[in-house]
Chain A
Amino acid sequence: MDNSKKKKAALKNSKNGNSIKKSEIKKEKWELKLYVAGQTPRSLAAFSNLKKFCDEHLKGQYKIKVIDLLAKPQLAKGDEIVALPTLVRKLPQPIRRIIGDLSNVEKVLVGLQMKSRNGFYK
């Protein structure tokens, strides 16, 4: 039950998930969008948390796009954004939304379906 070090791509290889290593999810490309409103401390915190998280868990296979809704309010509708900051995982499917400043790494893992809610690997 050593949670923090084990992780896995969302859908693939779920049956033998326990033995999967970081390198095995490399094939998948992650496309992430971070919605924020201006350069508030919370937005900045979210961005740095996300960056840290990705570097740790998805090194080299992710792409982050930051969208400032103050500048482009019309984009809020597309991804049904209500709360800020919101991280949207566009790829891999299905779309996932994570709200908050991403300070809780556990929950980010769950939110991105890298880990099931009850703590077990998928």
Chain B
Amino acid sequence: MNKNSTRIKKVKLPTLKKSSTGINGFDEITLGGLPQGRPTLVSGAAGCGKTLFAMEFLVRGVTQFNEPGVFIAFEENAKELTENAASLGFELEHLIKSKKLIVDFISIDRSEIEETGEYDLEALFIRIDYAIRSIGAKRIVLDTLEALFSALPNDFIIRAELRRLFRWLKDRGMTAIITAEKGVNTLTRHGLEEYVSDCVIVLDHRVSEQISTRRLRVLKYRGSKHGTNEYPFLIDDAGFTVMPITSVEMEHKVSNERVSTGVKKLDDMLGGKGYFRGSSVLISGTAGTGKTSLAASAAIVFCSNNEKCIYVSFEESKAQIIRNMGSIGLDLKQWESKGLLKFYNSRATHYGIEMHLAIIYKMIVEFKPGLIIIDPLTTFLSVGTFMDVKAMVMRLVDYIKNNGITAVFTSLTSGGSSLEETDVGISSLIDTWLLLKDIEQNGERNRGIYILKSRGMRHSNQVREFLLTDNGIILREVYLGSAGVLTGSSRIVQEKMDEEKFIESQLEIDNLTKNLQRHKRVLEVRVEELKAEYESMEDEVIRKIKLNKDKLQRRKKEREQIAESRKVGANGSESKRKGG
């Protein structure tokens, strides 16, 4: 028991070591690169970039991983290879001089060779061995071994020797790339896949609907997980770029930071703060509704925050966008000259959709933007079928979101189709969807904007009128009245009418107030009059009362005087009374 448990603990599964190729995106598909110490077969038809792939593997090995490499060429000589590699921006001469790279051209001329009995390819081994040892190479490329089949007469010997060669390379721990031409119905013309079976990569250069696209697929990878899809790749002056856009996981980073849309009122509609950083915003609408303008204003916001922005435009040239946006007060030029804004303009039909996306992918990797604008997304429909476009755009959106980049897409809704539907069918991937709409009324078209959805935030349910002015984008509230939604001049008329009504009633109130005050003043005067009347009456009464009082008093006095006078005659008074 005890023994067992300790043993389980000790077991540490040895995993396959990988040699990083340094090729953009390829290491991501293969989760680390090519199998270290094993041969890899790179197969493809003529002109799909096998040699360049192999060459980049070697050059990056030297420059990035300090692993010297040997290039055994059967088809091109060192000079040709150097020139070809220069087109990818690789300077071979320098690497060769500093003893980091050996290019050994083995030319076998069939016409000079006669077979006269048994032989083997020991000399090839010796040459390879010599090259490897002289620089301590870790990587080797054999391009294209199949030349041996056409150069030497005996297939059996070659096959036996190749088997030995691959075994030998493996034993020496060389990470090798063997290129092979694609056969008619087979992976390679001479069945090399039989011998090199650890890792098989297929390059393809397909033309569909007159547009060519290069694709790469990892057909087989022993002892390792790998992406199994066909990945578009491109070859340009910086070498290979494979676009590993199909991510299996949904592990988007989520940010709570909000970013302004560049339009104050629109921010207000989106809970007052704009959309989330790293979210995908779709601006859809019919032609001429202001999609580009809205996208450009988002770009301005990012650039003013010193963040980089990529503007992918398929319909307008750079100069045209700058001019047009300048006319509504959005100055893109200054940011472009400061290097914060990068344009990618291309006719959609120039490349296949995968190629476009690969280019965009490459730009993202190199430029590391905070915002990417694709204007419009629907152009892709002109270069692929609906399903293709949908799949590819989904990959792109996925990729952008995975990298925490905010994306603004515009989508042209063709007339007649439902507005709540994008032609490329990616609505479910979108976090914030702004719908621009023409509101046709009274012989004019006006722009309306509303928020179809905005995940994770309060947002307005109102339609706003969308005005493009010299000073940028302005949102106005539309007139919602008994006559329905009014925009443009009818809104203005209605608003004027409302204003007049308001003024009218204001005047009326003013009048009434004035009247009231006048009335009040009149009343006050009257009150004064009455008061005065009352006072005079009161005075009269008081006077009369006083008069009376005086009279009474006087009379009393008189009586007393009389009485007094009567008393003076002694009984006078009695007698008088008696007498009375």
Binding site for B on A (CB under 8 A): 35, 37, 42, 46, 49, 69-70, 73-74, 76-77, 80-87, 94-104, 107-108, 110-112
Contacts and interface: CB of A to CB of B under 8 A. Distances in A.
B148 A82 contact: yes
Interface string B118-142: 1111111011011000000000000
A42 B119 contact: yes
A83 B118 CA distance: 10
B119 A110 contact: no
Interface stretch (B88-96, B104-112, B429-437): B104-112
A98 B127 contact: no
Nearest to A80: B107
A30 B104 CA distance: 30
A83 B124 contact: yes
A99 B127 contact: no
Given A97-B114, A98-B116, A101-B119, A77 B127 contact: yes
A107 B116 contact: yes
Interface size class of B (residues with CB under 8 A): 20 to 34
B116 A99 contact: yes
B483 interface: no
A73 B104 CA distance: 13
Interface in B71-115: 104, 106-109, 112-115
B162 interface: no
Given A80-B106, A82-B148, A98 B113 contact: yes
Interface of B: 104, 106-109, 112-124, 126-127, 129-130, 148, 151-152
B22 to A, nearest CB: 29
Contact of B116 (A69, A74, A102): A102
A112 to B, nearest CB: 8
Nearest to B113: A97
Contacts of A46: 117
Contacts of A94: 112
B113 A99 contact: yes
A120 to B, nearest CB: 17
Given A80-B107, A80-B108, A82-B124, A102 B117 contact: yes
Contacts, number: 99
26 contacts: A35-B123, A37-B126, A42-B119, A42-B120, A49-B117, A69-B123, A73-B126, A76-B123, A80-B106, A82-B123, A82-B151, A84-B119, A84-B122, A86-B123, A87-B116, A95-B112, A98-B115, A99-B119, A101-B117, A101-B119, A102-B116, A103-B116, A103-B117, A103-B118, A107-B114, A107-B115
Contacts of B127: 73, 76-77, 81-82
Contacts of A76: 123, 126-127, 130
Contact of A108 (B116, B118, B126, B130): B116
A86 B124 CA distance: 12
Given A80-B106, A94-B112, 13 more contacts: A42-B119, A73-B130, A76-B126, A77-B104, A82-B106, A82-B124, A84-B119, A84-B123, A85-B119, A97-B112, A100-B115, A104-B117, A112-B114
Nearest to B112: A97
Nearest to A37: B122
A37 B123 CA distance: 7
Nearest to B153: A99
Contacts of A86: 119, 123
B168 to A, nearest CB: 14
A74 B117 CA distance: 25
Given A76-B130, A96-B112, A81 B118 contact: no
A13 to B, nearest CB: 22
A34 B113 CA distance: 14
B117 A96 contact: no
Given A37-B122, A77-B127, A96 B114 contact: yes
Given A69-B126, A81-B123, A82-B124, A42 B118 contact: yes
B115 A99 contact: yes
Contacts of B148: 82
B126 A70 contact: yes
B123 A101 contact: no
Which 5 pairs across A and B sit closest by C-beta, in order of nearness?
Answer: A111-B114, A100-B117, A73-B130, A103-B117, A101-B117
Contacts of A49: 117
B115 A84 contact: no
Nearest to A69: B126
A112 B118 CA distance: 17
Contacts of B121: 82-84
Contacts of A35: 123
Nearest to A102: B116
A73 B127 CA distance: 6
A101 B116 CA distance: 6
Contacts of A107: 114-117
Contacts of B107: 80
